[in-house]
Structure 1
Amino acid sequence: MTDSQETPTADEGEPRQHRAIKSFVMRAGRMTEGQQRGLDQGKPLFVLPLTDAPADFDQVFGRSAPRTLEIGFGMGHSLLEMAAASPELDFIGVEVHRPGVGALLNGVLTQGLKNLRVYDCDAIEVLKQCVADNSLDRLLLFFPDPWHKARHHKRRIVQPAFAELVRSKLKVGGVLHMATDWEPYAEYMLEVMSVAPGYRNQAADGGCVPRPAERPVTKFERRGERLGHGVWDLKFEKVD
């Protein structure tokens, strides 16, 4: 989910310019009719612009309510299910994959949801520029790219700097909830978060938490369970 490639300038003698690490790698994909409808009709209504100042989400949603932000919602099935099941909560999804954004928006239109908004740009930029400090009740990061090879670990979104950025955006008592189906990545995330200042692991044993009921089971997860794959959930609460 991160991209840390660098590109040189056109002239050989000049300093190299570096791309900032991003929370994603752009993927191409074909659009279905429903996904295109979601983009065409839903984007003007539900997609928020990247701004230089924090958004006023009370104004965006027309109310003040507990607020959850999900990074990388994929095709949007889980986010739609959570938003539909909890109309008293507000949800913000961040995803750059156009078919996924279209699918989510199509679902929002079909179900008539009012409590969900979307950013279709880099999640790190959204957090830094659009989300006020101490404003989120939850931040969700479900099944991020684990970047299996050791030389690619620097591309993982879960890094000490990410933990600090998320902590600055969560309210005291707010929760960073992560899930992965790759145990080495769960161990890595646990290692990063266990030394991140200002957090408390909600697992009694200091490891992973039991599967939370509020996280929907995806088709991908059901397939993994049939194949004997595990899923590991981690919850870290902001304490100061």
Structure 2
Amino acid sequence: MTDILDSAENVVPRMRTIKSFVMRAGRVTEGQQRGLEVGWPGYGLELADGLRDFDQVFGRSAPRTFEIGFGMGHSTLEMAAAAPEQDFIGVEVHKPGVGALLNGALHQELSNLRVYSCDALDVLRQCVPDAGLDRVLLFFPDPWHKSRHHKRRIVQPAFAELVRQKLKVGGVLHMATDWEPYAEHMLEVMSAAPGYRNLAEDGRFVPRPDERPVTKFERRGERLGHGVWDLKFARLD
């Protein structure tokens, strides 16, 4: 295990200054607190446990999706409920969102979902085996609008390499953003990243895939004329 972790650290030395989240305060509701207290023992996973055998965690071998930053968890719940034959690992640092997802999972009695509450990049480095994922999802990450903050964006060359290392050959990184400059940044980074193929027919963006749920935020944006850009890149080798 040590060799695997050392290899991951060596591949992505610049990732240490970039986080997959932005800290913000939030009030935890009664339902979210129930999720944290009752749901965590069954659904929660700990970063400190290190490299995991997810076949053992889920009790089966199945297609596996890793979602970075699931927010309040609505899309994650919808995807997991719609695809019981697949397993989902969601990572989110904000407690209200974690509690909401856990509470929803309890209500729906889902068995194909597990949750980390920490930095998703640390989970990828320390807990996910190489070539262990079929999909990695990054939906609506913070775009860091100001030019001086662009270095804080999660989508960077080192991120692309880390994700490629964790995807199976043929596995897909699926990203979505409602900020066009960030979409262009994502496209530029991923197009230059070795070992990937853009799944868009025109080499740019794919139509919104049916498997990505449409959020209330996205519907409101559509009514206001805002666009959403989806990108899919598959691991080649």
TM bin (shorter chain): over 0.9
- The RMSD of aligned alpha carbons is 0.9
Give the Cα separation in 2 of the matches to 1:222 and 1:98. Answer: 25
Give the Cα separation in 2 of the matches to 1:21 and 1:227. Answer: 32
Deviation at residue 22 of structure 1 after TM alignment: 1.5
Cα displacement string for residues 27-84 of structure 1 (whole angstroms, at most 9, x for unaligned residues) = 1100111101000101111110103642111111000000000000000000000000
Local SS of the residue matching 1:51: helix
Candidates 47, 52, 59, aligned match of 1:50:
47
Per the alignment, residue 140 of structure 1 pairs with 137
Per the alignment, residue 70 of structure 1 pairs with 67
Give the Cα separation in 1 of the matches to 2:193 and 2:120. Answer: 20
Candidates 168, 173, 182, aligned match of 1:171:
168
Per the alignment, residue 76 of structure 2 pairs with 79
Candidates 226, 229, 233, aligned match of 2:230:
233
Per the alignment, residue 131 of structure 1 pairs with 128
Give the Cα separation in 2 of the matches to 1:52 and 1:122. Answer: 14
4+ long deviations beyond 2 Å: none
Give the AA of the match of 1:141.
L
Give the Cα separation in 2 of the matches to 1:52 and 1:132. Answer: 13
> Unaligned stretches of 5+ in structure 2?
1-15
Deviation at residue 139 of structure 1 after TM alignment: 0.1
Cα displacement string for residues 134-192 of structure 1 (whole angstroms, at most 9, x for unaligned residues) = 01000000000000000000000000000000000000000000000011100000000
1:193 and 2:195 matched: no
Aligned residues: 222
Give the AA of the match of 2:236.
V
8 Å contact kept, 2:18–2:153: no
Per the alignment, residue 7 of structure 2 pairs with none
8 Å contact kept, 2:91–2:119: yes
Give the AA of the match of 1:137.
D
Asked which structure has the greater CA Rg, the reply is 1
Deviation at residue 26 of structure 1 after TM alignment: 1.4
Give the AA of the match of 1:56.
D
8 Å contact kept, 2:67–2:91: yes
Per the alignment, residue 7 of structure 1 pairs with none
Per the alignment, residue 115 of structure 2 pairs with 118
